[in-house]
Amino acid sequence: MSISDDSTAESPLLGVSGSFGSAEIEFARRFDDLHQLIYRQGGVRPTNAAVEEVAKLIFLRLWWLKKPDTSLPSGLTLDTLFSSNENGRRLVESFKQAFKLALNADELSALTPSGIKESLWPADEPFRLSNPDVLDSAVKLVSDLIQDHTPAVSDPLGTAFDALLSGRYDHSGGLGTYLTPSSVARMMAEIAFDLLEAPCFDTPENLLLGDPFCGTGRFLVAAAEILREIGKPEATKAISTGLFGSDQSTSSVAKARINMMLYGVEHPLVWTTPDSIVDKDLSELHGKIQIILTNPPFGEGKYDSLAGISQTAYVIPRVTGKKKIDPALAGLVQSLLLLKPGGVLGIVLPDGVIESRAFDDLTSGRNGILGGEISVAANVSLPTATFSLSGTVAKTSAIFLKKESKRTPVALARVQHVGYLRQAGKAARDPQGNDLPRIPKLMRSGLSAAGNAPVLIESQEPLVAIAQPGALQSFDPSRVDPAALQARASIKERGGMELQALMQEVRARRSRLLSDVPFISVLHIDDLGTIAWHEAERYQPTTPGILASGGDLIISLLNPSKMRASVIPDELKTVQVSAEFGVFKPHQHPYAILGLLYSESVKAQLRPLGRGTSSSRRRINEGDVLSLTIPMLEEQEMSRLDTQVKESLESINRARATLSSEFGKITAS
């Protein structure tokens, strides 16, 4: 199904619903000011507790929406509590009384999977804002944020959390907290609903959508917004009866519950679990959920639950016997287990996980344990700015998987701008705008028009392409970069061939540090392929490299947007090079091959490629180099080019040696 194209809800940044505006940044600024005030005067410890107290005020504001005439022992009502000009100790005590009563109010309870109602916080949880001035500022902010049943931002607690995350959140004691921007959540929810061929909103035995790592509930909020826009009675009803979430953070669960209540859910099904990967209540839902939207924790070697690793190994045998794995991999398997046949998973994953052999095991069709084959339906590459407010530059993608054997065209997109940048630790508007709201619509139109074309470029800015599964080497959208495809096609039209016809990979030979041979780092090679030998001979690295021999071609596998390659002169028997290089043995004419590599049409093929945790640490592999399409030159032309490039490099090296010698004489004198 699809959401109508005239929908105006875009949720760009920090939780705003509607067209892009400045409200989200303004509320983030006010939350940040409030946090600073709380730290200075509020006496709230630890630092993370500040957002907890804001959540409690929003909780009370929610009660005010439901029952404004509720009387308090102090003589005030909820209505007068939020509108009173009183301040001082009586106001503080009144809010403490209100919070204690609210914890026992049936209309403010949530559901557990067993159907039991429970309060959002434990019964003995106190209200900690005791400074009257701080409380007054907080009440004014919350009152402006929630004036009626449509909050000024779609995830008010997430907005508060975002402001806190950008500099003062304490990540110690567990996995880091990286809140998914609401613009990303909205985009992913739209794509997931589009990919679900036959959504069933009225499913008493099954739930429609869930998030096993829900945090403050951003994906649940995004789903609720879409269900509300669909407008059908059964879709609106699904907001209350078809959504669920779980998380290991009690604080996050409370916030998610409040967010769902603000969307009209009387008793949200959101619960706390010690481990979402092996939660028994989630296990009861295996094979029953139509859509899962989630952003699991990630970090290589950070997950050590034997039960969780065992469940993951049951689906991905290659992790059998490991004591620690990436929780993103375990979360991916758990999410797929939850899907019913035909279901859709939208999940944020590090690019390294998507390019791993474990991921390939899941999507290669060789694994039937999940209750159906898994196919990749879409992938959206996200920029490092996406999670920058959380203090990470991890390179991630939002990838969409379907539990079905039918191989359909794959939608690929590359997002360059998410509407904001991190400047001085705070959110600032990106002057280049926000690509995210356009992605679902472009994917929709591209899938409709794709037909049988191997690759259809629906849009170049932002890049959106539709590819047949057989036309893809990987699910990285950079593989369908228009400039790279055009360069490759242009060479093929003139008669081209793959570079592997002219050379082969040399298996890396590791070495201890050798003091008597040059050590070449990536920075010792410039954009013309010349090596600064006067630096390489003096360079003293702390990390051993790999060995290369005379006549070998070395090519940097780091940051392919900048070509750094060269030939080791024949007279050098052995050199050391950084492990960031690939080493290749040309069959003949090594300098001619170097010249071909530096041609613009070949560099254009490598430039968009790369995998890694950040844009500056993106890597390619030897196979990427060998699969480059290069012009096919006649033997005479190859020989001429080889001689010309070699002589030019030798001339530059002689000039550098002369300069180095002359400069040395000046220093000595």
Lowest mean pLDDT of 30-34, 137-141, 244-248, 557-561, name the range.
30-34
Q: Which residues contact 443 (CB under 8 A, 6 or more apart)?
A: 191, 194, 378, 411, 413, 458, 464, 466
Given 118, 139, 170, the domain boundary residue is 170
Average confidence (pLDDT) over 212-231: 91
Per DSSP bridges, beta strands 565-567 and 553-556 are antiparallel
pLDDT of 489 > 50? The answer is yes
What pLDDT does 9 receive? 30
Average pLDDT, the chain: 83
Average confidence (pLDDT) over 560-578: 91
User: How many structural domains is the chain composed of?
Assistant: 2
What pLDDT does 17 receive? 35
The identity of residue 394, as a single letter, is A
CA distance 329 to 300: 9
Residue 410 CA: distances (Å) to CA of 3, 136, 234, 564: 19, 53, 30, 33
CA distance 192 to 208: 12
Residue 490 is inside which H or E element, if any? helix 482-493
pLDDT single digits (tens) 18-54: 333 456 667 767 777 777 777 677 666 655 677 788 8
Average confidence (pLDDT) over 459-466: 90
Given 170, 192, 225, the domain boundary residue is 170
Among 249, 188, 250, 194, which residue's Cα sits nearest to residue 219?
188
CA distance 28 to 6: 29
CA torsion sign, 643 to 648 to 653 to 654? positive
* Alpha helix (H) residue ranges in 517-634: 533-536, 590-597, 600-606, 622-626
Instruction: Kindly indicate the confidence band of residue 262, based on its pLDDT and cuts at 50, 70 and 90.
Output: confident
Residue 70 is inside which H or E element, if any? none
Q: How crowded is the C-beta side of 128, counted as CA atoms within 13 Å?
A: 19
CA distance 19 to 12: 8
Q: Is residue 524 part of a domain?
A: yes
Instruction: List, in sequence order, every beta strand (DSSP E) within 415-502.
Output: 418-423, 426-434, 455-460, 463-467, 496-498
What pLDDT does 301 receive? 84
Apex CA 96: angle with CA 94 and CA 101, to 5°?
95
Among 141, 131, 147, 187, which residue's Cα sits nearest to residue 163?
141
Q: How far apart are the first and last CA of the chain?
A: 80
Q: What is the CATH number of the domain that holds 507?
A: 3.90.220.20
pTM: 0.80
CA distance 357 to 39: 46
Average confidence (pLDDT) over 190-194: 95
pLDDT of 426 > 70? The answer is no
CA distance 232 to 536: 69
pLDDT of 164 > 60? The answer is no
What pLDDT does 150 receive? 63
* Alpha helix (H) residue ranges in 346-438: 351-354, 357-363
What the block records as the tokens of 380 is 């959206």
Domain that holds residue 101: 1-170
Q: Is residue 145 part of a domain?
A: yes
Given 130, 148, 170, the domain boundary residue is 170
Q: What is the CATH number of the domain that holds 144?
A: 1.20.1260
Residue 611 CA: distances (Å) to CA of 260, 325, 353, 375, 378: 37, 19, 10, 21, 17
Among 248, 243, 326, which residue's Cα sits nearest to residue 285?
243
With H, G, I as helix, E, B as strand and everything else as coil, classify residue 218: helix
What is the 3-state secondary structure of 120-158? CCCCCCCCCCCCHHHHHHHHHHHHHHCCCCCCCCCCHHH
* Alpha helix (H) residue ranges in 339-460: 351-354, 357-363, 439-449
The identity of residue 356, as a single letter, is S
Q: Is residue 156 part of a domain?
A: yes
CA distance 264 to 242: 13
Are 436 and 186 spatial neighbours (Cβ–Cβ below 8 Å)? yes
What the block records as the tokens of 325 is 């794995």
Helix axes 590-597, 635-668, angle to 10 degrees: 90
Q: Higher pLDDT residue, 504 or 206? A: 504
pLDDT of 367 > 80? The answer is no
Q: Which residues contact 438 (CB under 8 A, 6 or more apart)?
A: 459, 462
Average confidence (pLDDT) over 105-126: 91
Q: Is residue 272 part of a domain?
A: no
Per DSSP bridges, beta strands 503-505 and 519-520 are unpaired
CA distance 669 to 660: 14
Instruction: Kindly indicate the confidence band of residue 227, based on its pLDDT and cuts at 50, 70 and 90.
Output: very high
Per DSSP bridges, beta strands 396-403 and 374-381 are antiparallel
Listed ranges 90-99, 414-423, 447-456; the one with the highest mean pLDDT: 90-99
Helix axes 233-241, 218-230, angle to 10 degrees: 160
Among 548, 521, 530, 633, which residue's Cα sits nearest to residue 588?
633
pLDDT single digits (tens) 607-660: 888 665 444 457 888 888 998 999 999 999 999 999 999 999 999 989 988 888
Instruction: Kindly indicate the confidence band of residue 348, based on its pLDDT and cuts at 50, 70 and 90.
Output: very high
What the block records as the tokens of 490 is 């242009």
Per DSSP bridges, beta strands 289-294 and 339-350 are parallel
Per DSSP bridges, beta strands 374-381 and 410-414 are parallel
Instruction: Give Cα 496 distance to the centre of its chain.
Output: 37
What pLDDT does 369 receive? 62
Q: Higher pLDDT residue, 212 or 542? A: 212
- Given the structure tokens 């699969």, which residue do they identify? 627
pLDDT single digits (tens) 279-313: 999 999 999 999 999 999 888 888 999 999 999 99
The identity of residue 16, as a single letter, is V
Apex CA 215: angle with CA 212 and CA 218, to 5°?
95
Are 371 and 403 spatial neighbours (Cβ–Cβ below 8 Å)? yes
CA distance 289 to 281: 13
CA distance 52 to 254: 9
Q: Is residue 221 part of a domain?
A: no
Average confidence (pLDDT) over 593-616: 79
Q: Is residue 310 part of a domain?
A: no
pLDDT single digits (tens) 57-113: 989 988 998 888 989 888 888 888 887 666 677 888 999 999 999 999 999 999 999
Average confidence (pLDDT) over 173-185: 64
With H, G, I as helix, E, B as strand and everything else as coil, classify residue 580: coil
CA distance 458 to 484: 15
Tell me the residue length of the chain: 669
Listed ranges 66-70, 139-143, 596-600; the one with the highest mean pLDDT: 596-600
The identity of residue 535, as a single letter, is E
The identity of residue 130, as a single letter, is S
Q: Is residue 476 part of a domain?
A: no
The identity of residue 267, as a single letter, is H
Residue 207 is inside which H or E element, if any? none
Average confidence (pLDDT) over 347-352: 91
Q: Is residue 566 part of a domain?
A: yes
